[in-house]
Chain A
Amino acid sequence: MSSSEFIEVKRKIAILAKVVFDLNLQALRAILKAGTEELGDIRVCIGPDARQVKQAHQLGSRYVKITLAGKAVEKLSAPVLAALSQARTVEMAVALHIAGSCYYSTSSICSLRHLVTEYGISSIVFDDKHSTLDPMLTYESLVSLQQQISCPVEYYGRNGMGLATGNALGAIKSGVRHIAVSVGGVDGYPAFEEVLMGGWFLLKFPLIVPPNMAASCEEILRCAGQRVQPAKPIIGCNIFAHESGIHVDGVSKKSDLYEPFTPETVGLSRKIIIGKHSGKAAIELKLKELNISIQPTAIMQVLEKVRDLAVWQKAPLSDRQLQKLVHEVAS
């Protein structure tokens, strides 16, 4: 992605929700060069190094995330303290990211709490980069951490086990209000759209679901060179496609029988697919849609032919194919 594409994608994401963008120094330099002026929603990710704090500040940033890894967590070294001191001197907000937090006991993370007051740390980032926790343990760890740390705690998890969204919701339930996400779950983070919808619909948080979210996410992912899988939760084009007899009959009576939320919520639409699993109601519904009338007694004959053809061609039927079958039965 070029810097200008990068800036464009950033703008598109910012429209969807109020977010903070984590960028490294190199990316920050690149977008500054490409003309970015406003850095209010950017946080610069750096190591525990006073020079990097200085560089970020000189580039105009007022917010850094300093990552502590390995021994730096257990024994605070001079460079760590120098970096924090530098940030305090230039009045930069600091988030302290504890790499591999999940491996440390709450008490060892809490041994860092004096830093929060001494250096005015604005948040502690709890990291489960290696996906070692499930939603229950994520919840428990974060409840306990928040009880002992006086600043806000952030959650930074990954999808190594397929549990990222579940863990993120666990974090939200524990009281955490800052979650690292990526649109479509790109690069293995919890998917932005799943966390947003889960937070809003399942946890009942007053979040705002942007209009046409599916199309917006698709566009953003296209810029990142990714295709949205048709069955991708929340944004896939097929998540409101129904074929099986029971389901089509159900959604035609009342859509929430087989849909957790309406397609309009995310800017998608419902599709009725005619195929091997179709039932009587689906055929009736589709014929009505196509403005074709047929004797009610002939529906079962059409259905039998539909199923045979779908199995034979190993694919659902097009509208034309259905029309042809109806014609055959009627004549």
Chain B
Amino acid sequence: MKIKIVDTTLRDGEQAAGLVFSKEEKLMIAKTLDQVGVFAIEAGTPAMGSEEQSILKGIVDANLSARVIAWNRAVRQDIVASVHCGFSFIHISVPVSDLHLHYKLRATREAVLQQLSDSIAFARSFGCRISVGTEDTSRADEQFFLQVADAAARMGAEYIRYSDTVGCMEPLQTYDVMRRLTKSCALPIEIHVHNDFGLATANTIAAIQAGVEMASVTVSGIGERAGNASLEQVVYVLTKLYGHETGIDRNLLPDLTRLVAQACRSEEEVILSG
């Protein structure tokens, strides 16, 4: 089985509290991810501002073989910022759990579906290719996730991300949920999990064994709170335990790991150790 690796080191990874990559580091990491052979690179969030946009333009202009994706909320201004950076792959994310809808967005499910459909149509009007992200999916109603996938598929999205935003799934449950969803979801699923209980790798591979063919990871598992699923570890398990193809050249991974570890050191640490 061929598994597509979607790396989000430069987006969700950099969102680890206190972490900042420089422009040069982001470009270098993107190029190395490309050499390593990831399917897609989630490069960042253009809506963050002009500084980030100039960094992201640099990555888009590097003409990498991997898809280079911009992360967006389902709002026009985010998509405009991404299009201005030159992105042709647009990821549009909406929260789907009632908890998030009620306390964060203060919106109804219907409103979210509408907002997502409008945003996909808007992004597609620029000729962009779309993936959809669902946030806090592991605490959401499965039927609503499927409804979002239906709407996204109708609007022309290519795949959908299932996020275990607070890392509260356990592997056997992940396996059962994904067995069900891969059968009924209108779009291919990408699994995106967090490591709050030390289960990120286990949950990612459980999803894959249940039929999911795309995995969202970060180098060394860096990311918010306890981090994300680690690219190195997921690829290792997929290759060694199951013999799945990932397109990743594992010989190049140590260089990537070192590069990111170096970029994760803050100036203070550099000065202290310097």
Rank and list the top 6 A-B pairs by shortest CB-CB distance, nearest first.
A166-B202, A241-B17, A135-B171, A194-B198, A243-B17, A162-B201
Chain A residues contacting B196 (CB-CB under 8 Å) are 233-234, 239, 260
Given contacts A166-B202, A314-B266, A315-B268, contact A203 B170 (CB under 8 A): yes
The answer for the CA separation of A151 and B65 in the assembled complex, in Å, is 57
Partner of A162, one of B168, B237, B267: B237
Chain A residues contacting B16 (CB-CB under 8 Å) are 231, 238, 243
Interface flag for B32 (CB, 8 Å): no
Chain A residues contacting B166 (CB-CB under 8 Å) are 256, 258-260
Interface flag for A67 (CB, 8 Å): no
Q: Are A315 and B199 within 8 A (Cβ)?
A: no
Q: Are A243 and B49 within 8 A (Cβ)?
A: no
**What residues of chain A have their CB less than 8 Å away from a CB belonging to chain B?**
132, 134-136, 139, 161-167, 169-170, 173, 185, 191, 194, 197-198, 201-203, 231-234, 236, 238-244, 247, 249-250, 253-254, 256-260, 271, 273, 275-277, 304, 307-308, 310-311, 313-316
Give the shortest distance, in Å, between A129 (CB) and chain B (any CB): 15
The answer for the CA separation of A185 and B199 in the assembled complex, in Å, is 13
Give the shortest distance, in Å, between B7 (CB) and chain A (any CB): 17
Partner of A134, one of B18, B202, B222: B202
Q: Are B227 and A169 within 8 A (Cβ)?
A: no
Interface flag for B144 (CB, 8 Å): no
Give the shortest distance, in Å, between A83 (CB) and chain B (any CB): 35
Q: Digit string of B74-107 for contact with A (CB within 8 Å is 1, else 0)?
A: 0000000000000000000000000110011000
Q: Are A201 and B197 within 8 A (Cβ)?
A: yes
A-B contact count (CB 8 A): 179
Interface flag for B133 (CB, 8 Å): no
Q: Are B20 and A260 within 8 A (Cβ)?
A: no
Chain B residues contacting A243 (CB-CB under 8 Å) are 15-18
The answer for the CA separation of A273 and B104 in the assembled complex, in Å, is 20
Chain A residue nearest to B169 (CB atoms) is A202
Given contacts A170-B171, A304-B49, contact A134 B209 (CB under 8 A): yes
The answer for the CA separation of A165 and B266 in the assembled complex, in Å, is 31
The number of chain B residues with a CB under 8 A from chain A is: 52
Given contacts A308-B51, A314-B266, contact A233 B198 (CB under 8 A): yes
Given contacts A161-B237, A166-B199, contact A136 B206 (CB under 8 A): yes
Q: Are A135 and B202 within 8 A (Cβ)?
A: yes
Given contacts A134-B206, A259-B166, A315-B268, contact A273 B17 (CB under 8 A): yes
Interface flag for B224 (CB, 8 Å): yes
Interface flag for B225 (CB, 8 Å): yes
Give the shortest distance, in Å, between A22 (CB) and chain B (any CB): 22
The answer for the CA separation of A316 and B201 in the assembled complex, in Å, is 29
Chain A residues contacting B246 (CB-CB under 8 Å) are none
Show 17 A/B contacts (Cβ-Cβ < 8 Å), sorted by A.
A134-B202, A161-B233, A165-B198, A169-B199, A194-B199, A198-B197, A202-B170, A243-B18, A253-B103, A259-B166, A259-B225, A260-B168, A275-B18, A304-B49, A313-B267, A315-B268, A316-B18
Partner of A139, one of B20, B103, B172: B172
Considering the complex, which residues of chain B in the window 164-183 have a beta carbon less than 8 Å from any beta carbon of chain A?
165-173, 175
Partner of B202, one of A163, A242, A253: A163
Chain B residue nearest to A313 (CB atoms) is B267
Give the shortest distance, in Å, between A152 (CB) and chain B (any CB): 21
Chain A residue nearest to B170 (CB atoms) is A202
Q: Are B51 and A161 within 8 A (Cβ)?
A: no
Give the shortest distance, in Å, between B74 (CB) and chain A (any CB): 13
Chain A residues contacting B266 (CB-CB under 8 Å) are 314-316
Give the shortest distance, in Å, between A264 (CB) and chain B (any CB): 15
Chain A residue nearest to B196 (CB atoms) is A260
Q: Are A244 and B15 within 8 A (Cβ)?
A: yes
Given contacts A169-B170, A197-B197, A310-B20, contact A244 B224 (CB under 8 A): yes
Partner of B48, one of A273, A277, A316: A277
Partner of A161, one of B19, B201, B225: B201
| Centre residue among A163, A250, A307 by max chain B CB count within 10 A | A163
Partner of B18, one of A185, A191, A241: A241
Interface flag for B195 (CB, 8 Å): yes
Q: Are A315 and B104 within 8 A (Cβ)?
A: no
Give the shortest distance, in Å, between A179 (CB) and chain B (any CB): 14
Q: Are A250 and B197 within 8 A (Cβ)?
A: no
Chain B residue nearest to A166 (CB atoms) is B202
Interface flag for B34 (CB, 8 Å): no
| Centre residue among A136, A234, A242, A304 by max chain B CB count within 10 A | A136
Chain A residues contacting B172 (CB-CB under 8 Å) are 135-136, 139, 169-170, 173
Q: Digit string of B15-31 for contact with A (CB within 8 Å is 1, else 0)?
A: 11111101000000000
The answer for the CA separation of A247 and B230 in the assembled complex, in Å, is 21
The answer for the CA separation of A201 and B173 in the assembled complex, in Å, is 14
Chain A residues contacting B206 (CB-CB under 8 Å) are 134-136, 166
